[in-house]
Amino acid sequence: MRISSTSWFARVVAFPLVLLGLAAGASPAQAQAADPYHPAARDTLSVEAYQGWKQFELNCSRCHGEYAVGTSFAPALVVSLRNGGTIPTKEIFIQTVCAGRPEKGMPSWCALGLEMDKINNIYAYVKGRADGKIHAGRPAAKAADPGKPQS
């Protein structure tokens, strides 16, 4: 018995489509187990804190460590911004970021053109990490409030 080329082609095309259908129906837990390199977000942040996370990872993490945990040459900001830490207020944080600490190798981010709204967003993220409200790991952003104008 010979299989027609049309029947063979239909089977070859149908098999991957069936597999895709099964994959689409997988539960989030199954999808998580299948992709350990892209874990699900642990926290859902305000838009401001999420933008702060992105700016922190872009501008600050190379020295202060991923998720603000510090490195061998820059302090852990999760410790510095805690109550009783070396950066006790938002104003001191902004002053430090803007002026930098040239004697320690930290540039003046305001002189480099980092805008104040981005610095405020970075503070929102790092302060949340310091207060234990934001865990280490990639966060998700809350959906923007439709009644609130986008900045």
How buried is 57 (Cβ within 10 angstroms: 0-12 exposed, 13-18 middle, 19+ buried)? Answer: middle
Q: Are 107 and 99 in contact (CB under 8 A)?
A: no
Own/partner pairs for 9-18, CB < 8 Å, 24+ apart? none
Q: Are 79 and 68 in contact (CB under 8 A)?
A: no
pLDDT string in tens for the chain (151-residue length) = 555 555 655 565 555 554 555 455 555 555 555 677 778 888 999 999 999 999 999 999 999 999 999 999 999 999 999 999 999 999 999 999 999 999 999 999 999 999 999 999 999 999 999 999 999 999 999 886 666 665 5
Residue 39 is predicted with a pLDDT of 80
Residue 45 is predicted with a pLDDT of 94
Residue 108 is predicted with a pLDDT of 97
The residue type found at 76 is A
Residue 16 is predicted with a pLDDT of 57
pTM of the model: 0.72
d(CA 60, CA 109): 10
